[in-house]
Every structure is written in C-alpha cells, then in structure tokens.
Structure 1
Amino acid sequence: MTDAVGSPGLWIRITHRFGPRMMEWFMAAHTVVWGWVLLLPDRIFDQPSWSGFRQIFRDEDALGWIMVTLGLLRFAGLVINGARKNVTPRIRQWSAGVGCLIWVGISYGYASSGVVSTWLAIYPLFAIAELVNIHRAARDQGGVARGKGYI
C-alpha cells in the first residue's frame, strides 16, 4: 500500500509506529476515560477521597470536560505524528509533558484528601510513565536531528 507520493502508505506508517508508542496511546485513552467518568451522573466529588479535587475544581463536570478534551487532543497529536512521513516528535514531547502534569495533579488531588487508597499505586506511576514517554520522544527528536532515522 502506497500513498500518492510512493512512500509507505498512511496505514502502514501509523501501525508501524503504534507499538513503540503504545504507552502514549494508553495514557491518552486513560485521560479521556478518567474525564468521562467525571461526566457520569453520579457525583464523584462528594466521596471523601475526592475532597481534594472538590477544593481545587469545585465542578467535576468542568474537570471532566478538560480531561476528555486533553485526551482527545493527545489522540489527534498521535495520529498526526504517526501519519506524517516526516514526523515531529515535539508533539509527543509536549503531550507527554502535559500528561505528566495531569497525573501529578491527580496524585496531588487525592493526596490532599488525606485518604490513603489504591490511587497511591496508580497515578504517581502514571506520572513516571509520562517522564519515560518524554524521554523516548526526546530521543526520537535527537535521532531526527542527527539524521539517524525515526520510527
């Protein structure tokens, strides 16, 4: 399958690049789903473990829409980055940086509640995973700059 300029087809480029970036796709999906859960009819902020979020955001629907939007923007960036013949790892660096801030912020929200729960085993590790994603994208950027290719 080739596109109009004879290079590997769009679908081949996206699928070839998906594997090494699977964690970035996962984090984008997790961001969207996390926001979607806040948009459900049940009032999550009323639960004790969410009191830190209630103090910061007041409106869980607003936070829900922010998270859904940021996750969808990350998906768009990954598709654009994966579809282009000459990729731009900076999109991935920025989105992983924003993702790191998101997961640090979520960890802070839970920690502010004073309730110890499974969040402690999840969201701080997501923030660390985003640091790994930043590193990988930066390494890819270095490879492009040195002309050593790019996945």
Structure 2
Amino acid sequence: MIVARVVNGVWTHFRLRLPEWVSATIMLGFGAILLEPGNTFELSPGFAFMADVAPENVWGVCLVLLGGLRFVALVLNGTFVPFQRLSPLVRSATATLAATAWMIVGIGILVSNNLLPGWLVYIGLSVLDAITGYSVAGEAGAAFRAHRNERPRS
C-alpha cells in the first residue's frame, strides 16, 4: 500500500518536477564519482577552482548528500500530508544550494586555462536550479500560508 502511494505521488508530479529530478540525478552521480578512489580533480585543470574551495572527498560527500536530500524531498512532497508544508521549503533550499554548487563548477572550468564547453553546461544547470529554487519558494510560501490559515484562532 505504501509503495503504491509513493509511486502514485511521484508519478503525479514527475513531469512538473522533471528538471529537479534530472539535476538531483546528475548531482548524485557527480558526487559519487568524486568519492571513487583516485583523484578526479587532477584529471582536468577545470577542477582546480573546486579544489581551492574544498577537497575532492568533501565535494563528493556534499554533492551526494544534497542530491540525496533532493530525492527524498521530491518523493515526500505531495505524497504524504505531513510533509506538504516542509518539503517545498527543502526543495527550494536544495535547488538554491545546487545552483551555487553548479555555478562554482562552471566558473572553475571557465576561468581555467583550458576553456572547455562543460562550463556552459554547469552554468546552465545553475540557472535552471536558481529558477527552480525561486519558483518553489513561492510554493513553500503558499504552503506555509495555507497551514497558518488552517489553524484555529484563539
């Protein structure tokens, strides 16, 4: 029963939230790659800026946690009533954090001496997540206002 509810809840909102699912998947994968043995940052000068911000394993853990949190929020949002107020706020916050992370990656590639086309992809992901964070913030505000208006007044 709970599996059917989760599947139905995800499916109902999947098309509307597709950019969030895609970004979370990329982020989770990117973080997992950084956690693999070896030094990914040494493979390309485009990662030097990221290495200046934090070590590779820190980036990996942060990206996996952020991507995983986005997945949890996407599954819970609209599926279970107790999470309907909080999950849009989590979705907005994680989209904003993701936009920041993608911007750091994109700028790092852009300012490296090897101008690679990847910078445009990461800046694009950043813009997408920034717009998502902004629009979902409106959703979060509406959820909090609805909750406030449902409370009995004393």
TM-score by length of 2: 0.77
The one of 52, 57, 72 equivalent to 1:55 is 52
- In the alignment, structure 2 segments of 5+ residues that lack a partner are 148-154
Q: For 2:36 and 2:126, how far apart are their aligned partners in 1?
A: 25
Q: What secondary structure is seen at the aligned counterpart in 2 of 1:82?
A: coil
Q: For 1:125 and 1:12, how far apart are their aligned partners in 2?
A: 30
The one of 14, 17, 23 equivalent to 2:19 is 23
Corresponding position of 1:106: 105
- Provide Cα deviations, 1:68-102, integer angstroms capped at 9, x if missing partner: 11111111111121322362322221111111111
Corresponding position of 2:90: 91
Q: Which amino acid aligns with 1:116?
A: L
Q: For 2:46 and 2:141, how far apart are their aligned partners in 1?
A: 42
Shift of 1:134: 1.9
Shift of 1:114: 2.9
Q: For 1:27 and 1:110, how far apart are their aligned partners in 2?
A: 19
Root-mean-square deviation (CA, aligned residues, Å) is 2.5
Q: Which amino acid aligns with 2:104?
A: G
- Provide Cα deviations, 1:14-38, integer angstroms capped at 9, x if missing partner: 2101110011011111111111111
Shift of 1:110: 2.1
Q: What secondary structure is seen at the aligned counterpart in 1 of 2:14?
A: helix
Comparing 75-84 with 116-125, which one deviates more in the overlay?
75-84
Q: For 1:101 and 1:128, how far apart are their aligned partners in 2?
A: 9
- In the alignment, structure 1 segments of 5+ residues that lack a partner are none
Using a 3 Å threshold, how does the CA distance of structure 1 residues 17 and 114 change in structure 2: closer, same or farther?
A: same
Shift of 1:133: 1.0
Corresponding position of 2:117: 118
TM-score by length of 1: 0.78
Shift of 1:41: 2.5
